[in-house]
Amino acid sequence: MKKLSVFMGGTCAGSTWRDELVEKLDTTKVDAFNPVVEDWTPECQAVEDEHKANDDVVLFVLTPESKSIYSWVEVALAAARDPERTVICVLPERNGQAYEGHELKAVTKAVKDIKGLGVPVFGNLGELSSYLNERAQKQTNNNKR
Count CA atoms within 13 Å of residue 103 on its CB side: 17
pTM: 0.92
The reported pLDDT for the residue numbered 145 is 57
* Count of structural domains, the chain: 1
Nearest to 75 by CA among 93, 55, 95, 61: 61
Would you call 63 helix, strand, or coil by DSSP? Answer: coil
Residue 40 maps to which CATH number? 3.40.50.450
pLDDT tens digits, residue range 34-80?
Answer: 998 888 899 989 999 999 999 999 999 999 998 888 999 999 999 99
pLDDT tens digits, residue range 105-124?
Answer: 999 999 999 999 999 999 99
Per-residue pLDDT at 22 exceeds 60: yes
Would you call 23 helix, strand, or coil by DSSP? Answer: helix
Confidence band, pLDDT 50/70/90 cuts, at residue 84: very high
The reported pLDDT for the residue numbered 40 is 82
- Cβ atoms of 79 and 112 within 8 Å: the answer is no
Domain that holds residue 104: 4-144
Give CB contacts under 8 A, 24+ apart, made by 136-141.
136/3, 136/4, 136/26, 136/29, 136/30, 137/26, 137/29, 139/2, 139/4, 139/29, 139/56, 140/1, 140/29
Spell out the residues 6+ positions from residue 129 whose beta carbon is closer than 8 angstroms to its own.
Answer: 21, 24, 25
Confidence band, pLDDT 50/70/90 cuts, at residue 137: very high
Q: How far is CA 135 from CA 26, 82, 140, in A?
A: 11, 17, 9
> What does pLDDT average to over the chain?
93
Q: What pairs with residue 51 in β-bridges? A: none
CA 127 to chain centre: 13
